[in-house]
């Protein structure tokens, strides 16, 4: 495990970069997870005895990298969780996807059903039992004609299971390297990154934005010389 990249930290919150392929929290694999990594960092940095409190406010899918925020107090955790529910808490993503878009900007609205047994989500008719509305905005930043790949910025309105991956795949623009829903880049790292996080500070109420970009190598070479 590489050294933890801390983007911001005060007495109430800590914002870090989650590398790809690390779980947000412990799961059945038993692999080292971000919650544990950040707890260990705090314990070591501040020489804290016993258990360290750290609130998990949101998650990123295991293969996805990017900005994550954790709460260092229960009050901060509660207030940030309220922001998630009230949609004050906003996550924006970058993705490298298959093909050229007809429209530079657009909104995708679908109904998704989560198949718990197989851990996948599917686009379904809205009348299906347990179907939930999923909505996102996309904006094409750049198109690479040689590779037939587009760099896309995504703003989520809802936070459904595997939402970005399912909706883009259904739109015939699957994410490069997506092993579950993709058509291209099998065996590669999924090109989906949570690059921007906007919150109100849980104590000061100040609006805060945190950004973190993936290293421009591999599929992410498309980022080179590119402004967001």
Q: What is the rounded average pLDDT for all residues in the chain?
A: 94
CATH of the domain spanning 6-223 = 3.30.2350.10
pTM to 2 decimal places: 0.92
pLDDT confidence bin for 186, thresholds 50/70/90: confident
Query: 33, 61, 98, 212: which one is catalytic?
Result: 61
Q: Would you state the pLDDT for residue 201?
A: 98
Q: Provide, rounded to the nearest whole percent, the portion of the chain with pLDDT above 70.
A: 97
pLDDT higher than threshold 60 for residue 187: yes
DSSP string computed for the chain = -PPP-EEEE-SSEEEEEEPTT--SS--TT----HHHHHHHHHHHHTT--SPPP-EE-----TT-EEEEEEESSHHHHHHHHHHHHHT-SEEEEEEEEES--SSSEEEEEEEEEEETTTTEEEEE-TTSTT-EEEEEEEEEEEEETTTTEEEEEEEESS--TTHHHHHHHHTT-PBTT-TTT-SS-TTSPP-EEEEEEEEE-TTT--EEEEE----S-GGGGGGTT---
> Domain limits of the chain?
6-223
Reported as a single tens digit per residue, the pLDDT across 95-140 is: 999 999 999 999 999 999 999 999 999 999 999 999 999 999 999 9
Q: Is residue 226 scored above 80 in pLDDT? A: no
Q: Is 61 labeled as catalytic in the residue annotation?
A: yes
The tens digit of pLDDT for each residue in 88-106 reads 999 999 999 999 999 999 9
């Amino acid at each position: 495990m590489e050294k933890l990249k801390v983007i911001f930290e005060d007495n109430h919150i800590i914002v870090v970069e989650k590398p790809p392929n690390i779980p947000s929290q412990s799961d059945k694999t038993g692999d080292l997870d971000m919650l544990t990594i950040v707890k260990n960092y705090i314990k070591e940095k501040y020489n804290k005895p016993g258990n360290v409190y750290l609130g998990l406010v949101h998650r990123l899918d295991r293969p996805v990298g990017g900005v994550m925020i954790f709460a260092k107090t229960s009050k901060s955790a509660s207030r940030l969780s309220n922001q998630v529910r009230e949609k004050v808490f906003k996550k924006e993503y970058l993705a490298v996807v298959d093909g050229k878009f007809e429209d530079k900007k657009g909104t995708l609205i679908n109904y998704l059903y989560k198949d718990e047994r197989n851990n996948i989500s599917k686009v379904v008719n809205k009348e299906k039992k347990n179907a939930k509305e999923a909505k996102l905005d996309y904006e094409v930043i750049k198109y690479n004609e040689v590779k037939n790949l587009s760099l896309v910025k995504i703003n989520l309105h809802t936070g459904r299971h595997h939402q970005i991956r399912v909706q883009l795949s259904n739109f015939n623009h699957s994410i490069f390297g997506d092993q579950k829903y993709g058509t291209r880049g099998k065996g590669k790292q999924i090109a989906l990154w949570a690059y921007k996080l906007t919150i109100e500070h849980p104590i000061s109420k100040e609006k805060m934005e945190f950004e973190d970009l993936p290293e421009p190598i591999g599929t992410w070479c498309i980022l080179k010389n590119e402004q967001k």
